[in-house]
Amino acid sequence: MELTNVSDFKGVCTMMLVYIPDVGDGLAAGISTIDGTKIQIDCGSQQEANVAFIKGIYRISPHSFFLSHFHLDHYNGLFCHNQHMERLAIREAFYPRIPKFEQRDKFLRCVMAMNHRLMGDMSGSTVADFLSVLSSINYGPFIYRSLSKGDTVRIGGSEFHVLWPPKTVDKATTKVIAKAIEVFDAAKQEDEILQKILNRIGEKGNLDPYLSDERQTGEMPICGRRTCDLKHYTFPSMRDLPEVVRSASKSLRAAANHLSLAFHEDNLFLFMGDLESSQIKKVVKYLTAQERRHFFVLVTPHHGTHWHKNLLEIHACHSISSVGSGLFLKLRPEFKSISNISLITHLNGDIEVPLFCPRWCRWKHRRDWYGFL
């Protein structure tokens, strides 16, 4: 069903609130569904991981968690949970499936090794991968599932349709990934720490959940790895790392962006992750072919800094960019032209957008509708 104006959203809403706090250059978004289920998308920040934790997962207390892609600054807030805090009660976790390509195993090992290198030795994590740290701070086992284009996830009355990543990648993306691996290989030759971390991942890293080609679910056992108390610890600055490591990190980040998770919930919510321009083009082309051009909330790609002219085919009542001081000057002004209201966390602070829903629902779930309390 195509919705063309605000009034068309009334009576069809299965989502009650979208919450995007100001965490700097990062994301710790929350969604409240019609039955009160809490969903979180990412929990990290380039500047302040502890802020992403406090404003994100600590406040939201989610039942489900989506990781958009395997960049550390999209889940480093999880490391801020310490042993004195109550454990999380996440029931299910979702993340992008690594598509088929020749070097996909090696690519994922490189990404995990770089994430651990960026964490520093005080992280306490043997391997700084998403499922391991989530397991170590969750109350018990949880269901995990990788997602790719065409998959559907049903949570709390909402149905999320996955738009990206694809099950296989094209030649252009393969070249970007191959180049990133090449730069990483050069870096590990000069950086002994990076080489040791990569070897350790080869021995102990569990890559199977990320590399699964099938639509499957399972349980991730509680992990013995500990997290650190970041009250007196900050992540190493990129400036403190060798130039070869910084270069490799930049290349891997660009490659991972090509495989970022993107999805929509009917015409209410469109999330585009950190997609690069070429992937944005394909996602929008797919949406327009499905006659889905109007959305109530659009979370802009890569914090509002990535754009493709095909986005002019999309219109949103609200476009939201979760951006901090580092990327603020790179914001694309074009998002103002495709939305009625353009919101930016760096300027507007914590953002909550209530979605339209039937009158009885607004009163029945009033606390959830007005915030994660």
Per-residue 3-state assignment (H helix, E strand, C coil) for the chain: CCCCCHHHHCCCCCEEEEEECCCCCEEEEEEEECCCCEEEEEEEECCCHHHHHHHHHHHHCCCEEECCCCCHHHCHHHHHCCCCCCCECCCEEEEECCCECCCHHHHHHHHHHHHHHHHCHHHCCCCCCHHHHHHHHECCCEEEEEECCCCEEEECCEEEEEEECCCECCHHHHHHHHHHHHHHHHHHHHCHHHHHHHHHHHHHCCCHHHHCCCCCCEEECCCCCCCCCHHHCCCCCHHHCCHHHHHHHHHHHHHHHCCCCEEEECCCEEECCCCCHHHHHHHHHHHHHCCCCEEEEEECHHHHCCCCHHHHHCEEEEEEECCCCCCHHHCCHHHHHHEEEEEEHHHHCCEEEECCCCHHHHHHCHHHHHCCC
Share of the chain above pLDDT 90, in %: 58
pTM of this structure: 0.88
Mean pLDDT over all residues of the chain? 84
Give the least confident one: 47-61, 62-76, 82-96, 213-227: 213-227
Q: Region 350-369: what's the mean pLDDT?
A: 56
Does 259 score more than 50 pLDDT?
Answer: yes
pLDDT bucket at 219, cuts 50 / 70 / 90: low
pLDDT at position 364: 38
pLDDT at position 224: 41
Share of the chain above pLDDT 70, in %: 80
pLDDT at position 215: 53
Structure confidence by residue, pLDDT tens digits, 16-56: 899 999 999 999 999 999 888 999 999 999 988 999 999 99
pLDDT bucket at 222, cuts 50 / 70 / 90: very low
Q: Region 245-259: what's the mean pLDDT?
A: 94
Domains of the chain are: 6-370 (3.60.15.10)
Give the least confident one: 77-86, 262-271, 329-338: 77-86
pLDDT bucket at 82, cuts 50 / 70 / 90: confident
Does 2 score more than 50 pLDDT?
Answer: no
pLDDT bucket at 155, cuts 50 / 70 / 90: very high
pLDDT bucket at 216, cuts 50 / 70 / 90: low
pLDDT bucket at 203, cuts 50 / 70 / 90: low
